[in-house]
Amino acid sequence: MQQQRGRIALNRKTSKPAGHNGPTKAFTVRTEGELLPFLREMLSHQGRNAVKSILARGQVSVDGRVETAYNLPLRPGQKVEVNLKKTAPPPRLFGLSIVYEDDDVIVVHKEAGLLSISAGQDGELTAYRQLMEHVRAQHPKNRIFIVHRLDRDTSGLMLFAKSESVQQTLQNNWRDMVKERVYVALVEGQVKQKEGVIESWLKENRAMKMYSSPRPGDGQHAVTRYKVLHADRNFSLLEVRLETGRKNQIRVHMQDLGHPIVGDKKYGARSRAIGRLGLHARVLAFAHPVSGETMRFQTPVPSLFYKVFKSAE
């Protein structure tokens, strides 16, 4: 997992470490450094693993904010408090990992098979539900808000907001704030044209299936650019860039191209060569809704996507 920023940002919300009524030690930072080495020096009587566990359990606060990042930069004058009472570990995430988090947004990597948000069934395991538990473990009043979705069988990067105002800022200015959205798609057959643009107007039928209308202007305008990364006579691996973000846009446009995504029976695929949908959200870049800073995150292409080419050799 790669990202431009090398650390988790400081959490600006004030919150106490869980179980903060227990025995607490306070230290003042004298020189610049990172949080874990500082704790190891201050808690020299504790072993390395014990100190890492204290940090991971949310028992450390810096200037009143709970911190868990080992490499959090420290500045002279900051106050570090350590609650020595053991607390319950943070909620475990399934099919989901946090790539970046600050006061305003969370960027995650979602695995194929996990719903972004509930489809209406109580108790469903979703990215949204797990992240809600994650932020509420930091403070019971914390919440998250969904900004966009990935289909259940699509893996890759997703962005969530930590307040309704941030959610609205992102959604209302999506086309301006999102600088880059790159997917990789494993499709059936050999795509002859090395790169191209697919443009259509998307609509949804009564069966809730998206399709390209034959009439220009009839539906939501959708533009998808693609480039062939690797291909043989059976499959092609494409880099896909979205200029618009419509529901099932890539899936419909790959069907329109005559090369449906592997595993996508709904949109004409016959092959289940990798046992999942061959679509992965690889790159996400956006203007931070508060700071305005450009944030860019990138994940590797799933190794499964190359499996079909190796097996064909």
Residues marked as catalytic: 151
CA 101 to each of CA 4, 9, 58: distance values in angstroms, whole numbers, following the listed order: 13, 7, 15
Q: Please spell the DSSP secondary structure of 110-149, one letter per residue.
A: EPTT-BSS--S-TT--BHHHHHHHHHHHH-TT---EE---
- The Cα-based distances of 38 to 33, 35, 43, 78, 287 in angstroms read 7, 5, 8, 12, 33
Both tokens assigned to 118:
């509930």
Cα 38 versus chain centre, distance: 30
Q: Decide: helix, strand or coil at residue 239.
A: strand
